[in-house]
Amino acid sequence: MANATSPTNTDSSSSATASLAKRRKLVHNDRNPQPSLLPGLPDHIAHLCLSRVHPASLYSVCRSWRRLIYSSSFPPFLSLYALLSQLDEPSSPAPDHSSSLSRIEFATFDPVSSRWLPLPPPLPDQPLSILLRHRSFLSRIFPIQSVAVSGNLVLLAATANNFFPAIPCPLVFNPTTRAWSAGPPLSSPRRWCTAGVFRGAVYVGSGVGSQFSADVARSFEKWDLNGNDLRSSAGHAWKWQKLRELKDIRFSRDAIEAVGWRGKLCMVNVKGGAVREGIVYDVAEDIWEEMPKGMIGGWKGPAAAMDEAELYAVDEANGSLRRYDPERDEWDDVIVSAELKGAQQIAAAGGRVCALSGDAGCQIVVVDAAASPPRTWVVETPKGSRAVSVHIMPRMSQQDDAYL
């Protein structure tokens, strides 16, 4: 008697089962076809109509519309992105060791569904661990420097054990493909540097490498994500382009925001209430200029530019959000809020300014600067997490119906 579990019998049974399942699926699809987006209209016409409606209005109607607004063919709405560390990690290193690495995760807050969604990790085989605190610097959180450019999140600089640079080359996340990739390596990996964006290009300057170098502290480089002319002769890698050096090493003391605004990159060399020095880089002319007195006088906290046209800054002492007027060289108050006091970092896009609050990084304050009068609300970080930095970028595509 033949064995009932022989390969021949098993293959025949599997083939018959698969064939029956396929026929049932075809019958099911024939009886339950995918509904049209708008009855009576071809889907491509319905798509044009629905693209004019706010995504929040479409989200609550039906699953097919919900699926549409997260597709690559629908105009992406803006979402909040955050770099996160865990709250259960000690606020300072234990006495028996000088430092402890923090595990960094990434998430995006979808304003339409009002929920946080995780991003895939940059390194699938191992968590991204960064030095955020050290016993020798009890009151300081070491920065992780990242920027949003051309709809991508780019991780640029951080600190590893022994105060070495943690990121040898940029790590780039594309929300449309939901994938990470590596950018071209910096000429010298660094930490505590100047980082900013203007017209699709990333700028990095100054900072400290594995050891202090005056050449690195004065350096300034550009990586154009859209510039095919910067690809290597092999045609598969971008390059960093060296620009005019800084005049001195004063911008290597801290993580510095180089804010892209009206053809310039504006930066100040320290945070908090210390005496500040400001400098401006003219992108077109490749020259350094002195910062206007009124600009540096009112630059009293984190700053960001809205669409590279309007410059905003938060006075971290009194909680005022201000807009810079270049004609008068003065700052005008947009709104004053206690929730903005101690703001650590801000991002601006789509008429809104998002501020990482000073309250352990567990709240992100959103200001609708385009409203009259401006209004604010708070987004809580995911449970058990604190935000290290925030960005505003196009929403992440959804490839799993479980999220819809």
Q: How many CB atoms lie within 10 A of CB 110?
A: 19
Give the residue among 177, 222, 175, 160 at the shortest CA–CA distance from 195: 222
Selected from 2.60.40.10, 3.20.20.150, 2.120.10.80, 3.30.360.10, the CATH number assigned to the domain covering 78-403 reads 2.120.10.80
257-304: pLDDT as tens digits: 999 999 999 999 877 667 788 999 999 999 999 999 999 999 999 999
Residue ranges, CATH 2.120.10.80, the chain: 78-403
pLDDT confidence bin for 163, thresholds 50/70/90: confident
pTM for the whole structure: 0.84
Q: Give me the pLDDT at residue 11, please.
A: 42
Structure tokens at 65: 């519309």
**SS3 category, 351:** coil
User: How many percent of the chain have pLDDT more than 70?
Assistant: 81
**SS3 category, 26:** helix
Q: Give me the pLDDT at residue 138, please.
A: 54
225-267: pLDDT as tens digits: 885 443 443 444 478 999 999 988 888 878 899 999 999 999 9
**DSSP sequence for 152-217:** EEEEEE-B-GGG-BS-SS-EEEETTTTEEEE-PPPSS--BS-EEEEETTEEEEE--B-SS--HHHH
